């Protein structure tokens, strides 16, 4: 039976403004990925703290405490793991949660590490419970249980592993078990990037790719990139195609606007899928609340995909609200669709949600 894809894996019909990796991104991701803290744009607070922790660990000649990186796909978790290893001057070993199928595979990984190396486990919430449990001892005491012998002669022995730093990445911390979560010394929750930061990322990438771009052009790409560097870099590449074939090769605001129209990405950085979510809420359910399962069924997508891929940016930008009864449309959502908001919503101030008693169609 085909394995179910995780919401952050490459999507079947790649979505230009999806944060997950597309196969065509891989060589560009490699070329554009910042290698040092200085190149890593934005996330200033986290970067400042991590610099201190790295320096302190290096002075003590100890491994960095285990780090949990959390945030939607494409915000720079893998990049940060690589930078941490480079700044610690140690090797980075990369894997993903579901790939470590059993305790033996984990033991194989851990015994290959050099002192203070970084083990990066992407999608760490998808570790099997047995593997996760063996990881606890490794994280706490740098030891691991291995089984020797067969049948009646089988016994467990503990072998030491080199001191190491586990850098785990996950889309939402709520997906982690409490014992795993509490074993990380540093918890870094990456935020969506501001348009000005993304514009700096676009300008840096354009320089590496040798594409001429104006400041306004970079900002226009940034505003349509859902606060996500991977999307900004992908959109830059698509706009470059239009500029090279239909224009002079240089990118300015006009080229970006024309290209985004052709790609069906609107001024807020939304595509048809986002607008469908807003229409389900506003048109089909009169503003909500609508349970996330209902939204998922209407779109024909798994619930996880709605929660990990589509919803975070709509929530962060204030187009959706979350209530115990489900998702609700805000004034901004109605305005974005060019529809008149219900009078109860119009009369209220702030980010404003429909009173919970007004609609009880679904459960969350």
Q: Which residues are designated catalytic? A: 77-78, 122, 171, 230
**Which of 19/63 has CB closer to ligand ADP?**
19
| Tokens at 157, concatenated | 């022995």
Q: In the set 17, 32, 54, 110, which binds ligand ADP (CB under 6 A)?
A: 32
Cβ atoms of 358 and 312 closer than 8 Å: no
**Which of 41/110 has CB closer to ligand ADP?**
41
**Which of 50/144 has CB closer to ligand ADP?**
50
Can residue 40 be called a binding residue for ligand ADP (CB under 6 A)?
yes
**Which of 120/353 has CB closer to ligand ADP?**
120
Applying the rule CB under 6 A, the residues between 112 and 141 that interact with ligand ADP are none
Strands 320-323 and 326-329: antiparallel
Shortest separation between residue 350's beta carbon and ligand ADP, angstroms: 31
Binding mask 212-231 for ligand ADP (x = CB under 6 A): -----------------xx-
What is the C-alpha separation between 230 and 36, in angstroms, rounded?
17
* Backbone phi, psi, residue 290, to 5°: -125, 130
Can residue 233 be called a binding residue for ligand ADP (CB under 6 A)?
yes
- E strand or H helix at 328: strand 326-329
Q: In the set 77, 226, 325, 327, which binds ligand ADP (CB under 6 A)?
A: 77
Q: Tell me 148's DSSP state.
A: E
Q: In the set 18, 76, 97, 227, which binds ligand ADP (CB under 6 A)?
A: 76
| Tokens at 251, concatenated | 């990118």
Mark the segment that binds ligand ADP (CB under 6 A) among 31-39, 89-97, 237-245, 296-304: 31-39
Shortest separation between residue 121's beta carbon and ligand ADP, angstroms: 12
Can residue 79 be called a binding residue for ligand ADP (CB under 6 A)?
yes
Task: Count CB-CB contacts under 10 A for residue 107.
Answer: 19
Q: In the set 57, 75, 144, 329, which binds ligand ADP (CB under 6 A)?
A: 75
Can residue 73 be called a binding residue for ligand ADP (CB under 6 A)?
yes
Query: Which residue number is nearest to ligand ADP in terms of Cβ?
Result: 76
Cβ atoms of 339 and 283 closer than 8 Å: yes
Considering CB under 6 A, how many residues would be counted as binding ligand ADP?
19
User: Nearest to residue 159, comparing CAs of 138, 131, 183?
Assistant: 138
What is the C-alpha separation between 287 and 346, in angstroms, rounded?
12
- End-to-end distance of the chain based on CA atoms, in angstroms? 30
Task: Count CB-CB contacts under 10 A for residue 35.
Answer: 12
| Tokens at 44, concatenated | 């200033």
Applying the rule CB under 6 A, the residues between 139 and 178 that interact with ligand ADP are none
Q: In the set 29, 117, 307, 308, which binds ligand ADP (CB under 6 A)?
A: 29
Can residue 42 be called a binding residue for ligand ADP (CB under 6 A)?
yes
What is the C-alpha separation between 203 and 207, in angstroms, rounded?
6
**Which of 171/294 has CB closer to ligand ADP?**
171
Task: Count CB-CB contacts under 10 A for residue 74.
Answer: 27
Cβ atoms of 191 and 72 closer than 8 Å: no
Shortest separation between residue 31's beta carbon and ligand ADP, angstroms: 8
What is the C-alpha separation between 99 and 113, in angstroms, rounded?
17
> Binding residues for ligand ADP, per CB under 6 A?
29, 32-34, 40-43, 73-79, 201, 229-230, 233
């Amino acid at each position: 039976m085909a394995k179910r894809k995780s919401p952050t894996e490459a999507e079947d019909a790649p979505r230009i403004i999806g944060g997950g990796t597309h196969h065509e991104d891989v060589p560009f991701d490699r070329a554009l990925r910042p290698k040092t803290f200085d190149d890593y744009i934005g996330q200033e607070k986290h970067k400042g703290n991590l610099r201190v922790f790295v320096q302190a660990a290096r002075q003590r000649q100890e491994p960095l405490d285990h780090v949990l990186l959390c945030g939607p796909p494409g915000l720079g978790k893998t990049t940060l793991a690589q930078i941490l290893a480079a700044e610690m001057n140690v090797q980075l070993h990369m894997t993903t949660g579901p790939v470590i199928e059993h305790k033996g595979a984990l033991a194989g990984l851990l015994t290959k590490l050099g002192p203070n190396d970084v083990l990066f486990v992407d999608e760490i919430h998808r570790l099997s419970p047995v593997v996760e449990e063996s990881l606890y001892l490794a994280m706490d005491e740098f030891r691991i249980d291995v089984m020797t012998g067969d049948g009646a002669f089988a016994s467990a022995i503990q072998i030491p592993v080199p001191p190491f730093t586990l850098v785990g990445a996950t889309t939402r911390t709520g997906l982690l078990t409490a014992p795993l979560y509490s074993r990380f010394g540093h918890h870094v929750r990456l935020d969506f990037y501001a348009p000005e930061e993304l514009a700096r990322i676009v300008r840096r990438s354009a320089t590496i790719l040798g594409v001429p771009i104006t400041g306004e052009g970079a900002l226009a790409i940034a505003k349509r990139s859902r606060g996500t560097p991977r999307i900004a870099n992908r959109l830059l590449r698509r706009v470059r195609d239009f500029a090279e074939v239909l224009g002079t090769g240089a990118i300015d605001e006009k080229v970006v606007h024309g290209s985004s129209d052709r790609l069906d990405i609107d001024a807020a950085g939304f595509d048809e899928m986002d607008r469908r979510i807003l229409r389900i809420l506003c048109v089909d359910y009169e503003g909500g609340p609508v349970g996330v399962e209902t939204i998922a069924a209407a779109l024909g997508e798994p619930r996880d995909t709605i929660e990990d891929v589509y919803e975070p940016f709509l929530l962060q930008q204030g187009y959706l609200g979350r209530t115990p009864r489900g998702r609700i449309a805000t004034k901004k959502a109605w305005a974005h669709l060019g529809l008149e908001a219900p009078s109860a919503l119009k009369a209220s101030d702030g980010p404003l949600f429909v009173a919970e008693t007004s609609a009880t169609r679904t459960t969350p």
